[in-house]
Structure 1
Amino acid sequence: MGYALLFSGQGAQHRHMLSWVRRDRHVEQVENLLGADWRDRLDDPVWSGNNRHAQVLITGLAMAAFEQLVAEAGPPAVVAGYSVGELAAFCAAGVLDPDTVLALAVQRAACMDAAHAHLDTGLMGVSSARQGGLRGLCEAFDLDLAIRLGPESGVVGGPNGALVEAAACAEVQGMRVTRLNVALASHTRWMQQASVDFRSVLATHSLTNPRLPVISNAMGQIRDAAQALDALASQLSATVRWDECLDHIESRRVDAVLELGPGQALARMWSERFPDIPARSVDEFRSLPALVDWLTARLP
């Protein structure tokens, strides 16, 4: 019972995102790293698509929103993060120190950028695939399934040349394809070195056992600090099993779901999968009281 929080990944950031969030220490850290004009700069797709900018912004704003929401509505029953959203989710669960999580976001992005330095790779969303269509597309063009959303939809990653060829083939087969504004193939074998490097980074930080149930993209529910470290490191080069994350959360019989971050993609995915459990994105609200009113009205 209670509510679940789903922490967004990068890709949907925009200048008006989380407009109700008050300026706190997390927002100040974002400003120190990205500049006080970060909202204006989000109008530039090159700047907003930069891996470091996006990961810092998504993590910092998520932590600010989380702390301000919980102060009014109480803690969630379970949390999960989509891609880089795992940093904020693990921090919300008590695994990571909230005062150093932005430093981890910077280092995570640096590990990924270094692994990508001599590669020309990217990501592509695919939907409306027939049964086995995603697997067949990956096998035919030597791509990896980066994110699994369900049997007919997901995100594939690999060399950009192969993605172009795969897109043409997929469209002929009736699939819908969308190139993502992410300039590397996260959650694929091309990020193996990033996983190795980020594991070394995490080993220098003090992780603790989760105080809230937290579901990882790669390993299911996290039980202790050692498992959390493995999950955060391996996630960079392993498939994000988002469909399984949602199933884990639904099994806890939550009363409502909130997507915490920019955009509404995760809330829509939840509603398509579990239409009887209400879901909204915090980005839809223009004030914290309105958000809290909606949430508390759906809790016992």
Structure 2
Amino acid sequence: MSFALLFSGQGNQHQAMLPWIDEDDDIVRDMRSRLGVDDWRDALAQPGWAERNANAQTLLTGLALTAWKELAPLVTPPTAVAGYSVGELAAFSAAGVISPESAMALAQRRAEAMDECAMRTPGGLLAVSGLPSLGIKGLCTETGLALAIHNGEDSVILGGPVAALARAEQMALRQGAQCTRLRVNVASHTPWMRDAADSFARTLADVPFRAPQVALFSNAADRVRDAASARIALAMQIAMTVRWDECMENVMARQVRCVLEIGPGQALARMWNKRYPTVPARACDDFRSTGAIAVWLRSHAAE
């Protein structure tokens, strides 16, 4: 089998996601304990709960780790792995770089470090599509925003202070762009998160890391080949642009036959299918059981 795993970022979490997850799994119990909730699905129904950075990052890391734990025994190891934003924690764990226990603890610490920065400069993210690269550069120049995520030539996410985001949205709409404010309250992957990246790097220094067991691609540092570069990559991406288009190119270069997105929603699968229509991608959120996911992978990834 030749397939890739892509781990989702935050923003698309919903009550009904991943209905087949084992609620009695050790990772899920640890996740609920860290979040201080008995039922994470009920918690997602509370206004604002899902948007809190600390909740979302811990929740999504725990669910992604559990999903892969349940699926892994049913399939062969992936050919390539990548994670989108906070999805890198689960991706690095799936690639054998850090333990699931470490990934859970790091999700909490990552969110705390980012929230500390956001308290000093409240910010967020704005998805913009339909503008050429020159138009995006003009928005950043006029408003002072930074390019947080590059998904494609005309699909980006800008980050920065709240007032600047509002101004950029109005400017972009006047130019005919499509804009969506993301359900996050920090300017992830921008210079406003530099202190968080430095703090997280100090945290990572004390965590056991190993070299990846499969091809692992980073948002900020291309391919990760050893433990030292893994530490650097995980810290860097907090305050640097996520080059997701380049991650997809790197994964495609591994000649995978299909792609599976692990996490809520289908955002990464849709982006992949738009870019590489001859290599099918599906999301775990499309299925009702791990068995059905395994059947789909086997049918498309077989040599």
Tell me the TM-score normalised to structure 1 length: 0.98
Structure 2 distance, partners of 1:72, 1:107, is 32
Could you say which residue in structure 2 is the equivalent of 1:21? 21
Cα shift at 1:61: 0.6
What secondary structure is seen at the aligned counterpart in 2 of 1:186?
coil
Contact kept, 8 Å, 1:134 with 1:153, in 2: the verdict is no
**Aligned-partner residue type, residue 286 of structure 1:** R
Could you say which residue in structure 1 is the equivalent of 2:294? 292
Give runs of ≥4 in structure 1 deviating > 6 Å: none
Could you say which residue in structure 1 is the equivalent of 2:128? 126
Cα shift at 1:100: 2.3
Cα shift at 1:28: 1.1
Could you say which residue in structure 2 is the equivalent of 1:114? 116
Structure 2 distance, partners of 1:151, 1:136, is 15
Contact kept, 8 Å, 1:4 with 1:78, in 2: the verdict is yes
Structure 1 distance, partners of 2:257, 2:38, is 38
Structure 2 distance, partners of 1:8, 1:57, is 12
Structure 1 distance, partners of 2:179, 2:70, is 37
Could you say which residue in structure 2 is the equivalent of 1:105? 107
Could you say which residue in structure 1 is the equivalent of 2:226? 224
Structure 1 distance, partners of 2:176, 2:282, is 30
Structure 1 distance, partners of 2:123, 2:65, is 30
What secondary structure is seen at the aligned counterpart in 2 of 1:149?
strand
Could you say which residue in structure 1 is the equivalent of 2:249? 247
**Aligned-partner residue type, residue 3 of structure 1:** F
Structure 1 distance, partners of 2:218, 2:234, is 8
Cα shift at 1:184: 0.8
Structure 2 residue runs of 5 or longer lacking an equivalent are none
Could you say which residue in structure 1 is the equivalent of 2:31? 30
What secondary structure is seen at the aligned counterpart in 2 of 1:297?
helix
Contact kept, 8 Å, 2:123 with 2:159, in 1: the verdict is yes
Deviates more, 1:178-187 or 1:67-76: 67-76
Structure 1 residue runs of 5 or longer lacking an equivalent are none
What secondary structure is seen at the aligned counterpart in 2 of 1:47?
coil
Could you tell me which of 71, 74, 80 is aligned with 1:72?
Answer: 74
Q: How many pairs does the alignment contain?
A: 300
Q: Deviations over 1:193-222 (max 9, x none)?
A: 000000000001111111111100001110
Could you tell me which of 190, 204, 207 is aligned with 1:205?
Answer: 207
Q: Deviations over 1:15-64 (max 9, x none)?
A: 11111122311111112122221111101241011111101111011011
**Aligned-partner residue type, residue 254 of structure 1:** V
Contact kept, 8 Å, 1:133 with 1:152, in 2: the verdict is no
Structure 2 distance, partners of 1:221, 1:278, is 23
**Aligned-partner residue type, residue 11 of structure 1:** G
Could you say which residue in structure 1 is the equivalent of 2:281? 279
Q: Deviations over 1:66-109 (max 9, x none)?
A: 11111111211110000000000001111111122111110010
The 5-angstrom pairing of residues 151-190 of structure 1 reads 151-190=153-192
What secondary structure is seen at the aligned counterpart in 1 of 2:149?
strand
Structure 2 distance, partners of 1:55, 1:19, is 19
Contact kept, 8 Å, 1:128 with 1:153, in 2: the verdict is yes
Cα shift at 1:130: 2.2
The CA RMSD measured in Å over matched residues stands at 1.0
